[in-house]
Amino acid sequence: MVIVGLSPIVHESAVGILVDGKLVAAAAEERFGRVKNQGGFPHQALEYCLKRAGLTARDVDYVAYAALPFHQERMRDIASFGQNIAYVARAEDAPARKLRHVLNFTRNLVLTKEWESWGGTERKIRTELRGLGLEDKLVFVDHHRAHCASAYYTSGFDRCLVVSLDGYGSGQAGSFYLGDRGKIELLQEVPYPHSLGTFYRRVTQALGFKPNRHEGKIVGLAAFGDPNKLYDEVRARFDLEHDDYYRYKTSQDPYFEKELAKKHSREDVAAAYQRVLEEVAAKYIQKWLRRTGTTKLACAGGVFANVKMNQRLMELPEVEQMFVFPAMGDGGVGVGAAYSLYGDLRPATPHTLPDVFLGPAYTDREIENALVSAGLPFKKSTDIERDIVEQLVANKVVARFDGAMEFGPRALGNRSILYPALEPEVNKWLNNRLKRTEFMPFAPISLEEHANDLYVNIDRVRYSAEFMTVTTSCTAQMQAQSPAAVHVDGTARPQLVRESRNPSVHKILRLYHEKTGIPTLINTSFNIHEEPIVCSPQDAIRAWSDGALEVLALGPYLVTQSAA
C-alpha cells in the first residue's frame, strides 16, 4: 500500500511517502524552492519523493492530507469561539483584557482567509491533485491526530501517552491520545484558542522576532533572564484548576506581551514565558501520564520544538522514556497523516526510525560538476573523514555535505557545519559569519557510546537524542571538555551518533576522539541565516562562500578557502 502524506500547504509544505507502513521518502518544499517555511503545493518535494521511492502517481493508493475539509474546520472554529466566549465571561481576568480578547478573537475568526476565499486552500489541494490524477484518492486527517500518529508509530513504544501541542490545527490547539498495541485512542482535545503555540508565538513577536520562525531564539534568550521577575504576572494568564486541559484565559489579547516588552528586558520576559510554558505543559502531561498509568511519552507538534520544555517533561518522575518525532512541526505532520491512515487500514506496529536521511543525495559526478562550474579548486580525497578531522584539529570550520539530506528542522551530520567545541567565543564569531543571533548556543554532536559520560538522564531520551530534539544537563566532563557546546544554564541539545546509523559521521567523531580525547564536536546547520538548510551541491557552495567558512567537504571532495 502506497500512501502519500501532505502537510497543510499554508506553510511548511512537505511530503512523505509510506510503502506498506515504512517511511521511504520525505522532504520539505523549502529545500527545493529555497524559501524558509515555504507554503503552497509541494510540487518539487512530491516529484522528488516519488522518484526516490521508485513510484509514479499511478502507484499511489491514498493521499493523506493533515487537515479537515473546509466546512468541518470552520464548524469547529465556530463551536470553539462560542465555548470560549462563555468561558471568558466567567474567568477571573481584567475586564479590559477580556474585552480586547473578545474583539480580537472575533476579528480573527471573521477575517480569516479561509472565510474570505470560502475554502480556497481545499480547492487548491483538490485542483493540484486532480492534475496528477490523485483527487479521488484524497483523505482528510485530523491535524492533531496526524501529529500524534507521527510520534506514536515511530516511537518504538507499544503503549504510551501521545501528546500534540501546536498553535492551531483542525480547530484545535492540542490533543492527548493513548497509543496502545498499534492503535491511537483520543483521550482529550485542547480546543483553540487555549494554545501554548499562540502563547509562545505572541512573545516571540513582541520581543522583535519573527513568529512561527524564531521561537527557538526565545528559548536561547530565556537562559539569560530572571524568570521570577515576571512569573506571577505571566502565570496568571492560565487557569490550571481543570482536570482535562489548561485554560489560556485571554489568549487573543494583542497588547499584553507588547506592554511587558516595553517595560522589561527581553531576557526577563523570555525567561518568564519559558518557565510558564514548561510548567503548564508538564502539569497536564503529568496528569495524563498518571491517569493512563503509562511511563512512556511520545510527542509531536510545533510546541515540542522547544527543547528546554522537552527536558522538563523528560525529567518528570513518571517518565521512563520519551520520544519527540524528528520533524515535530507542521513540516512533519503530513508523514503523520500517512501513518494515521495506514494504522486505520492495516495492522500497524510502532517501530524506530533507522535514520531520517530521506532527502536527495548526489553522485560524485554531480558534485564534481558543481565544483567545476563554480570554478573552485578541489582535491578528491581517498579518506575524507580523516582529512576532515585533520582540518578540525587545526581549528578550521568545516562545512560538510554528504549523502542524503535530513528530513526535519535539524542538521544531523549530512548537511552540517562542524567545529571543535573548545572555545566559548565561537558562539559570537561563527554566528556572526552565518548572520545569526549571537546568543544562540551551538549544539554538540557526540559519539553515542560516550553519552552517559556527557549527558545527565540521557537514557530516558537516548533514541530521541539521535535527532537533536531535547536538551539535557551536562556532566562536569562535558562542561570541561566542550564548553562551546554548553549553554549558560549548563545544558546542551545533543545529537548522539551510532556507527550503524551514520558510519561516516561516526568515523569523523571517532578519529577526532582518538586525536584529542574528546568525543564531541559542534554541529550547526549548513545554511546562512533565514535560508533553508542546503539541499544541492550548488546550495552548499553558495552558503560556504557566503559564510566565509574555511573548509568545504563536499562528498569525497575537499575545498579550502586558501585554495579557492
pLDDT value, residue 564: 52
pLDDT band at 435 (very low <50, low <70, confident <90, very high): confident
Question: How far, in Å, are 207, 438, 512 from residue 443 at the CA level?
Answer: 24, 14, 17
3-state secondary structure at position 154: coil
Q: pLDDT value at position 178?
A: 98
Neighbouring residues of 70: CB distance < 8 A, sequence distance ≥ 6 = 114, 118, 119, 121, 122
Closest C-alpha among 382, 381, 386, 384 to residue 512: 386
Please count the CA atoms within 13 angstroms of the CA of 500 that sit on its side-chain side. Answer: 3
Q: Which DSSP string corresponds to 241-274?
A: --SS--EETTTT-SSHHHHHHHHS-HHHHHHHHH
Closest C-alpha to 371, from 553, 531, 562? 553
Strands 172-180 and 321-324: unpaired
Q: Please tell me the predicted confidence (pLDDT) of residue 562.
A: 62
Q: How far is CA 465 from the centre of its chain?
A: 13
What is the average pLDDT across 218-228?
Answer: 96
**Residue boundaries of the structural domains of the chain:** 364-560
Given a cut of 80, is residue 61 above it in pLDDT? yes
> Residues 287-291: what's their mean pLDDT?
98
Q: What's the pLDDT at 113? A: 74
Q: Which three cell numbers stand for residue 363?
A: 553522485
Beta carbons within 8 Å of 288's beta carbon, 6+ residues apart: 161, 163, 176, 187, 188
* Rounded Cα gap, residues 57 and 59, in angstroms: 5
Count CA within 13 A, CB hemisphere, residue 531: 19
Res 122: pLDDT: 95
Q: What is the mean pLDDT of the chain?
A: 96
What's the residue count for the chain? Answer: 564
pLDDT band per the 50, 70, 90 thresholds, residue 114 = confident
Cα–Cα distance measured from residue 9 to residue 14, given in angstroms and rounded to the nearest whole number: 8
The pLDDT score that the predictor gives to residue 110 is 86
- Confidence (pLDDT) at 558: 98
Higher pLDDT pick, 109 / 412: 412
- Could you tell me if 13 and 39 are in contact, meaning their C-beta atoms sit under 8 angstroms apart? yes
Instruction: Give pLDDT tens digits for 398-424.
Output: 999 999 999 999 999 999 999 999 999
Task: Determine the Cα angle at 236 with ends 235 and 238, to 5°.
Answer: 80
Which residue, 7, 352, 349, 339, is CA-closest to 166?
7
**Whether CATH 3.90.870.20 fits 364-560:** yes
pLDDT digits (tens, 9 = 90+) for 73-106: 999 999 999 999 999 999 999 999 999 999 999 9
pLDDT tens by residue, 467-497: 999 999 999 999 999 999 999 999 999 999 9
Rounded CA gap, 544 and 532, in Å? Answer: 14
Q: HSE of 544 in the Cβ direction (CA atoms, 13 Å)?
A: 29
Q: pLDDT tens digits, residue range 129-153?
A: 999 999 999 999 999 999 999 999 9
Tell me which of 110 and 241 has the higher pLDDT: 241
Instruction: Quickly tell me which residue has 519573527 as its cell.
Output: 210
Other Cβ atoms closer than 10 A to 254 = 15
Confidence band for 58, pLDDT divided at 50, 70 and 90: very high
Are 462 and 447 in contact, with CB atoms under 8 Å apart? no
pLDDT at residue 118, as a whole number: 79
| 450/474 Cα distance (integer angstroms) | 13
